[in-house]
């Protein structure tokens, strides 16, 4: 039975995968594409927070929100000027996919040029640990867990209790009918992209003090959130959450048991899911 430290660690990982996966699924259900540059928004969010705190002295919670807004805005620009223009009926996914992949290189290069390649740290934010007897947890990690709960609650409220949320859900389920009711799918796409990227950015921001900030930090969270979505089901928001939890906990526990083979185990698991039950746990079965 893995010690408590491993479970807590797994929980923290789950929080991040969950948040990222949620953002990706939102974007996928409206725009129909997987945003391969999702990890880059995670990275950019972390950099925004880093500079907000170290260069401008803005306190952490405010910096967090700023990074969400700024990077969310960037996401909307990307949607408007790149994704929209490349969506061709029929082969739409193809060109957009290549474009988002090219954007990965673009953002990594831009971040490398603008911010330098050395790891940057925010260890001074929320320093200290909470001593719980046989193990301790850093306040930074506790912050991650609290943040995720808050964000998920906020998402629930937005999606289920606001007009915008209603429009989003309608457009996700029945785009044609929704547009008949006067919901502009274009506008919803823009908003959803903004929200999705903001989620990624804030995930990156809250994690920035835990590890370190460098231009390449977005690659692995991207892949992990993709795996989480597969396990949970491609179109399902609940699936994103559950998939994130499963993946995060599994990753830590398996790594504890069999060390570096956890990589293989996860990929094999994903292949099995795709072969046996491709729609994941909560997705709708496709033909």
Partner 1 sequence: MKKWYNITAISVVMVIVLGMFAMACAPKAAPPQPTGPITINIGLPMPLSGSASPWGLIPTPFREAWFEVFNKEGFKIGDQTYNIKLIQVDDQNTAEGGAAAAKQLIFGDNCKFIAGHWGWNFSAVAAVTNPAKVIFVTRNGSPDAFPVSWPGAYDPKTMPYVVFGTPSQEEFTFDCLALVDAFPNYKRLGLLDSTVGKGGGGWTKVQNTLDQAGVRWQSEWFTPGTTDFAPIITRFDEGGCDIVFVAGWIGEYMAFLKQRWEMGHKDMKVACSGPFVSMAMYKAVVGADAFEGAIGAYYAPWELKKTKVDPKYIAQCQEALTIAAEKTGKPYAYTGEIAWLPSHVLILVQAMQKAGTVDDPDAIMKAIRGGTFDTTVGKWTMSGAQTYGSPVVFGTAAPMCIIQGGKEVYLSEHPMEPLP
Partner 2 sequence: MMLGRYYIDYKSVLPKVVAGALVVLLAVFPVITTNMVTLSILISSGIWAIAVMGFTLVLRTGQFSMGQAAFMAIGGYVSAILTVKLGIPYWPSFLAAGVVSGLIALVIGVIMLSAGGIYFSIITIAFGEIVRIVALNWEAVTRGAAGILTRPPAPITIGNFEINFATSVVPYYYFMFLLVIMAGLVFRQIDRTRIGGTFRGVAANPMLSEHLGVHLMKYRVIAFTVAGVFTGLAGAYYVTFLSVITPLMFDLWKSIQIMMMSIVGGISSIVGGALIGATVLYTLGTYLSRLPIYNIQYLLFGAAVVLVLLFLPKGTGLVDLWGKFWHKVFREPEEYEMPEESEMAVE
Tell me which stretch binds partner 1 (CB under 8 A): 23-31, 147-155, 165-173, 254-262.
254-262
Q: Among residues 38 and 141, whose Cβ is nearest to partner 1?
A: 141
Among 3, 59, 61, 112, binds partner 2 (CB under 8 A): 112
User: How is residue 60 written in tokens?
Assistant: 């952490």
Does position 9 interact with partner 1 (CB under 8 A)? The reply is yes
The piece of 18-26, 39-47, 189-197, 216-224 that touches partner 1 (CB under 8 A) is 216-224
Which segments within 16-95 are labelled E, that is strand? none
Residue 131 CB neighbours (<10 A): 9
Task: Please give the Cα distance from 237 to 62 (Å, whole number).
Answer: 27
- Among 35, 50, 192, smallest CA distance to 107 is for 35
Do 19 and 155 contact (CB within 8 A), yes or no?
no
Angle 38-54/92-115 helices, nearest 10 degrees? Answer: 30
For residue 138, what are the β-bridge partners?
Answer: 129
Segment near partner 2 (CB under 8 A), from 65-73, 88-96, 168-176, 251-259? 88-96
Element housing 13 (H / E)? helix 4-31
Using CB under 8 A as the binding rule, whether residue 132 contacts partner 2 is answered as no
Pick from 145, 169, 219, 270 the residue near partner 1 by CB under 8 A: 219
Residue 5 binds partner 1 (CB under 8 A) = yes
Q: What's the min distance (Å) between Cβ of 8 and partner 2?
A: 27
Buried b (16+ CB within 10 A) or exposed e, 167-206: bbbbbbeebeebeeeebebeebbbbbbbbbbbbbbbbbbb
Report the interface residues with partner 1, using CB under 8 A.
Answer: 2-3, 5-6, 9, 13, 117-124, 127, 129, 131, 134-138, 140-141, 211-212, 214, 216-217, 219-220, 251-253, 255-256, 259-260, 262-263
Report the interface residues with partner 2, using CB under 8 A.
Answer: 34, 82, 85-86, 88, 90-91, 93-95, 97-99, 101-110, 112-113, 117, 226, 230, 234, 260-261, 263-264, 267-268, 270-271, 274-275, 278, 286-287
């Amino acid at each position: 039975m893995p010690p408590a430290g491993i479970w807590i660690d797994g929980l923290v990982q789950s929080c991040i995968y969950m948040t990222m996966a949620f953002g990706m699924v939102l974007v996928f259900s409206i725009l129909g594409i997987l945003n391969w540059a999702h990890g880059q928004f995670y990275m950019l969010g972390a950099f925004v927070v880093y500079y907000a705190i170290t260069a401008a002295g803005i306190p952490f919670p405010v910096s967090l929100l700023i990074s969400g807004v700024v990077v969310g805005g960037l996401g909307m620009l990307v949607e408007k000027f790149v994704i929209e223009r490349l969506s061709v009926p029929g082969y739409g996914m193809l060109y957009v996919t290549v474009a988002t992949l090219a954007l990965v290189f673009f953002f990594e290069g831009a971040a490398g040029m603008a911010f330098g390649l050395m790891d940057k740290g925010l260890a001074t934010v929320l320093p200290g640990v909470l001593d719980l007897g046989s193990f301790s947890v850093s306040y930074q990690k506790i912050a991650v867990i609290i943040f995720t709960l808050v964000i998920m609650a906020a998402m629930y409220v937005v999606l289920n209790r606001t007009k915008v949320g209603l429009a989003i859900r309608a457009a996700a389920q029945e785009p044609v009918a929704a547009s008949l009711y006067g919901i502009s799918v274009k506008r919803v796409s823009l908003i959803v992209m903004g929200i999705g990227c903001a989620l990624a950015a804030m995930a990156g921001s809250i994690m920035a003090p835990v590890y370190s900030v460098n231009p390449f930090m977005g690659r692995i969270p991207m892949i992990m959130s993709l795996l989480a979505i597969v396990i949970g089901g491609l179109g399902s928001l609940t699936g994103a959450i559950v998939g994130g939890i499963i993946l995060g906990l599994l990753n830590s526990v398996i790594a504890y048991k069999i060390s570096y083979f956890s990589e293989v185990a996860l990929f094999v698991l994903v292949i099995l899911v795709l072969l046996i039950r491709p729609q994941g746990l909560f997705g709708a079965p496709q033909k």
